[in-house]
Amino acid sequence: METKEHIGVVTQQDARYADLVSGLNQRYRGTPESVHLPRSTEEVVAVVQDAVDRGKRVSVRSSGHCYEDFVYNPDVEVVIDMSGMSDVYFDPHRRAIAVESGATNLRTYQTTYPRWGVVVPAGFCYSVAMGGHVCGGAWGPLARQHGLVVDHLEAVEVVVVDEDGCARAVTAGRSPQDPNHDLWWAHTGAGGGSYGVVTRYWFRTPGASGHDPAGLLPQPPASLLVSAVSWPWEEIDAAEFKRIAQNYASWHVEHRRSTVELMSQLVLTHRSAGQIGLLALVDATAPDAESVLSSYLRAVNAGVSVTPGALTTPMAELPAMPQFVNTRSLPWLQAIRLLGTTNTTLNDPTLRAEYKSAYMRSAFPESHLAALHSHLTRTDIVNPTAAVQLTSYGGRIADVAPDATASAHRDAAYKLQWQVFWNDPAEDDLHVRWARESYAATYAETGGVPVPNSVTDGCYVNYPDADLGDPRFNQSSVDLYGLYFKENYPRLQRIKARWDPRDFFRHRQSIRLP
């Protein structure tokens, strides 16, 4: 491992300051007195201790992908930027692959796969860092085959503050016999910013043995079958829009525990985008892979009169992919790099955005479909980036009990994400209103949010949504913690009381003390 450099401190007089006080979502910019860039756990402890001693409010950035203002807001005085801690290496003492919290998905993939032929089954987006990604549960293109990232989490190192105001680093492991096991459990789905500063994770799949890192984590498929198609909005009426969405939903409900070699995204765009898009990925090494893919594509298009064509426009998290109108096989890492890095919208550092999420357990009620179609065809907004993206869930995710980790939504079949992007601050109200109104209309029968029941199953904490804590927008009987954590929340509060009794690490949706 490289020698660690001395800590960097950036203040308002530094030319770097403007680039270090905002993240992915340009709606939120902070005014901290300092941004610290530690290169070791010891330096993180020192920064935290100094902030405690001076009574300063702290937040933590891994790569800046937080959708809300939890990192950058007027109350934060000290930002700890973990981008300088990004090593990925084999730890022979723990017989696990260590990943520091500033390492991005792409860095992690491009280290573990070429070196050892294995991967942490993390997310699509190349620039998301592991620090916040993992502790929120973390899913990705291999989740149906290999479960969530936290299903492979062996241990986590966290800088915490005790009731006497003493900062220290603690390592918490998966074994129930570990005296710090509860802190490990809290970092398997409770999101960041509630317990301390994550400095590194160790990964090893349960049951894996030996000292060879090539045998300690899942091997991804050698190659993927990639299909990307679209339907032109001008040829799709309301009935066919609903049929496409319902076909997707019904397939995932029916195959909640089967056909794990396939994952797919359906992007229901605003009509101004011109196309509705579908991406499907299949493990090319699986038996009858081509048959699985063709059967799936037929199922999604069943009863639709329009023949799908090429996907020629970027939408939500997908790049334009006209070359995949006919299925192609790509090496695994090449496919992941293509999907993760080539979307021009997600790589634009000037965009403002609004996001919302939902887990789904059943096919859509008619009221959901009607609301989605109504708001995706509104004429008061003309924004091709406005979309509701449906993504595969289920498979091996469901093999783990809801209380075995803090990730409680194990029975979901697919998930939804609302996304809309824009540049001009003067348009904030227009685009935020579209997201709020379309989301509220979709879940109007349950108080404007997807409460856990037989149809919906709450929200994804890694897509944080401040509106869930606002009674103007969440009119249900389930608060934001019930939507994010379900029955796991009381245990998370008890862990909070043990490990952060001063509530030093907090934001507007952090775990509350009992």
Determine contact, residues 312/233, Cβ cutoff 8 Å: no
Number of domains in the chain: 2
Residue 364 DSSP label: P
Question: Quick one: 490 exposed, middle or buried, by C-beta within 10 A (0-12, 13-18, 19+)?
Answer: exposed
Whether 184 and 139 map to the same domain: the answer is yes
Domain-embedded: residue 394: yes
Tally of CB atoms within 10 A around 18 = 11
Domain-embedded: residue 513: no
Tokens of 160: 């915490």
Whole-number pLDDT of residue 1 = 36
Provide the CATH number for the domain around residue 377.
3.40.462.20
Whole-number pLDDT of residue 398 = 97
Residues of the chain with pLDDT under 50: 1-6
Determine contact, residues 138/156, Cβ cutoff 8 Å: no
Tokens of 481: 């913690």
Domain-embedded: residue 495: no
- Phi-psi region at 276: left, alpha or beta (left = phi > 0; alpha = psi -120 to 50): beta
Kindly provide the residue ranges of all beta strands, DSSP E only, lying in 62-203, ordered along the sequence: 78-81, 88-91, 96-100, 153-161, 167-173, 197-203
**Domain finish residue from 170, 190, 220:** 220
Provide the CATH number for the domain around residue 28.
3.30.465.10
Helix, strand counts (H, E) of the chain: 12, 17
Q: CA dist 473 to 186, 429, 453, Å? A: 28, 15, 19
CA gap 243, 88 in Å, rounded: 45
Domain range for 459: 223-487
Whole-number pLDDT of residue 346 = 87
Whole-number pLDDT of residue 7 = 63
Domain-embedded: residue 168: yes
Kindly provide the residue ranges of all beta strands, DSSP E only, lying in 16-76, ordered along the sequence: 34-37, 58-61
Whether 292 and 250 map to the same domain: the answer is yes
Regarding pTM above 0.75, the answer is yes
Domain-embedded: residue 227: yes
Whether 363 and 269 map to the same domain: the answer is yes
Whether 244 and 211 map to the same domain: the answer is no
Determine contact, residues 73/29, Cβ cutoff 8 Å: no
Tokens of 337: 């790099």
Tokens of 157: 């190192």
Determine contact, residues 79/14, Cβ cutoff 8 Å: no
Q: Using alpha carbons, select from 38, 37, 40, 20 the residue that is nearest to residue 29.
A: 20
Residue 306 DSSP label: S
Whether 247 and 343 map to the same domain: the answer is yes
Determine contact, residues 105/141, Cβ cutoff 8 Å: no
Q: CA dist 139 to 281, 360, 460, 486, Å? A: 15, 15, 10, 18
Residue 187: phi and psi, rounded to 5, are -90, 20
Whole-number pLDDT of residue 186 = 98
Determine contact, residues 267/337, Cβ cutoff 8 Å: no
Q: How far is CA 502 from the centre of its chain?
A: 28
Whether 241 and 277 map to the same domain: the answer is yes
Whether 252 and 324 map to the same domain: the answer is yes
Determine contact, residues 193/60, Cβ cutoff 8 Å: yes
Whole-number pLDDT of residue 335 = 97
Q: Is 71 helix (H, G, I), strand (E, B) or coil?
A: coil
CA gap 440, 444 in Å, rounded: 6
Whether 45 and 194 map to the same domain: the answer is yes
Whether 5 and 129 map to the same domain: the answer is yes
Domain-embedded: residue 418: yes
Whether 246 and 214 map to the same domain: the answer is no
CA gap 312, 213 in Å, rounded: 40
* Locus of tokens 């909070």: 496
Domain-embedded: residue 445: yes
Whether 178 and 200 map to the same domain: the answer is yes
Determine contact, residues 158/199, Cβ cutoff 8 Å: yes
Domain-embedded: residue 377: yes
Whether 203 and 240 map to the same domain: the answer is no
